[in-house]
């Protein structure tokens, strides 16, 4: 049954983008593959306005989160946490044997001044730009300025639900490792993740031992210099990615960000008038987390929406009962958002 996805990811993928996956299979060591890989990286660099290396990880975004920490940090990392995905990154660091300093704010709040001093032996500070579980978009430029002015720790950024939806100013943020995947604002099927890495990050990696095998960033970089991946990438998905990046270039990043803002405003206005928003401020431009003050049964809401051809997302983790989420990232149009909100009104 075809439903229009207003989800937190995977999100709606347009038919023409799905169709772009149909091309014949090629080997991942040949010239045609190298052209495809190179084209993707160049388009992404143009769209993100960066000259930094863009590395492909043959995994979902969690793989890139693990790679960032394991390859770039020998011993100690600070995590700024404002929800479930920040907590996940802490777990990743701990299970990779890193010593973690965790600075947290309550769920629903944004990261502002929780960082305090950054001890000299902290090698990296990790932050989630858009906390998908709470619908908070953290003020990345401010956080970046704080990190860079207080230390020379690397800045690792989870931009999984912000990249290609908001226009991140890479020159201002100067992230050392900014990561995202295909199934969110890029509006593609899942299966591939990316890390935009600085020279400084790569230099630090050289001193780190125990980088592992599958996610050794230095090996991935060495292959990337030849427009290759060390392991077999999802080539069909990459055909669609190259096509989708061309579509995004046609739309323009500024326009894409403006459209996401408009979608967010529509969702927020609806939520404020009917119920309330879970965050107090710093509302996400990609995921609206609605506090279900009307006590609506989510399962009934969801199935009634499905009958009308729509899908939204339930609350995440410990917010499952209290909230539900409207995802509005990728290629969703303003008209489509209006039709979802009308359907929600009808159901409620």
Nearer to ligand PLP, 94 or 308 (CB): 94
What is the full DSSP assignment across 264-328?
Answer: HHHHHHHHHHHSEESSSSSB-SSEEEEE-TT---HHHHHHHHHHTTEE-EEPPGGGTTTEEEEE-
Smallest distance from ligand PLP to CB 339, Å: 25
Count of C-beta atoms within a 10 Å radius of residue 203? 10
Smallest distance from ligand PLP to CB 161, Å: 5
Q: Are 128 and 158 a contacting pair, CB within 8 Å?
A: yes
Nearer to ligand PLP, 90 or 343 (CB): 90
Smallest distance from ligand PLP to CB 160, Å: 4
Smallest distance from ligand PLP to CB 62, Å: 3
101 phi and psi angles, rounded to 5 deg: -100, 120
Nearer to ligand PLP, 44 or 343 (CB): 44
Beta pairing class for 76-81 and 124-128: parallel
What is the distance, to the nearest Å, from the Cα of residue 259 to the centroid of all Cα atoms in its chain? 17
DSSP 8-state secondary structure symbol assigned to residue 133: T
Instruction: Summarize as ranges the residues that interact with ligand PLP (CB under 6 A).
Output: 9, 60-62, 85, 128, 130, 132, 158, 160-161, 181
Terminal C-alpha separation, the chain: 22
Nearer to ligand PLP, 156 or 343 (CB): 156
Nearer to ligand PLP, 72 or 227 (CB): 72
Smallest distance from ligand PLP to CB 141, Å: 18
Nearer to ligand PLP, 66 or 227 (CB): 66
Smallest distance from ligand PLP to CB 225, Å: 25
């Amino acid at each position: 049954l075809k439903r229009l996805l207003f989800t937190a990811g995977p999100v709606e993928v347009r038919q023409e983008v799905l169709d772009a996956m149909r091309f014949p299979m090629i080997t991942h060591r040949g010239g045609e593959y190298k052209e495809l890989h190179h084209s993707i990286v160049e388009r992404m660099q143009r769209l993100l306005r960066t000259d930094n290396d863009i590395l492909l990880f043959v995994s979902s975004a969690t793989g890139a989160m693990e790679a960032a920490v394991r390859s770039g940090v020998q011993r100690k990392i600070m995590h700024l946490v404002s929800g479930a995905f920040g907590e996940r990154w802490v777990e990743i660091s701990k299970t990779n044997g890193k010593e973690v300093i965790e600075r947290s704010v309550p769920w629903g709040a944004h990261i502002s001044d929780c960082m305090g001093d950054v001890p000299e032996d902290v090698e990296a500070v990790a932050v989630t730009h858009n906390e998908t579980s709470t619908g908070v978009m953290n003020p990345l430029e401010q956080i970046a300025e704080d990190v860079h002015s207080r230390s020379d720790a690397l800045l690792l950024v989870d931009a999984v639900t912000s990249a290609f939806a908001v226009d991140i100013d890479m020159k201002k943020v100067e992230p050392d490792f900014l990561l995202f995947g295909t199934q969110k604002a890029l509006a593609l099927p899942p299966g591939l993740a990316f890390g935009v890495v600085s020279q400084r990050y790569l230099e630090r990696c050289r001193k780190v031992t125990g980088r592992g095998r599958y996610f050794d960033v230095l090996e991935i970089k060495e292959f990337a210099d030849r427009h290759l991946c060390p392991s077999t990438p999802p080539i069909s998905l990459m055909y669609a990615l190259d096509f989708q990046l061309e579509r995004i270039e046609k739309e323009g990043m500024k326009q894409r960000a403006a459209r996401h803002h408009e979608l967010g405003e529509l969702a927020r206005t609806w939520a404020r008038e009917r119920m309330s928003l879970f965050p107090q401020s710093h509302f996400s431009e990609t995921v609206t987390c609605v506090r279900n003050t009307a006590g609506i049964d989510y399962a009934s809401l969801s199935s009634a929406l499905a009958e009308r051809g729509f899908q939204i997302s339930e609350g995440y983790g410990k917010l499952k009962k209290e909230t539900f989420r409207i995802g509005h990232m990728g290629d969703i149009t303003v008209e489509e958002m209006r039709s979802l909100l009308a359907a929600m009104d009808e159901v409620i």
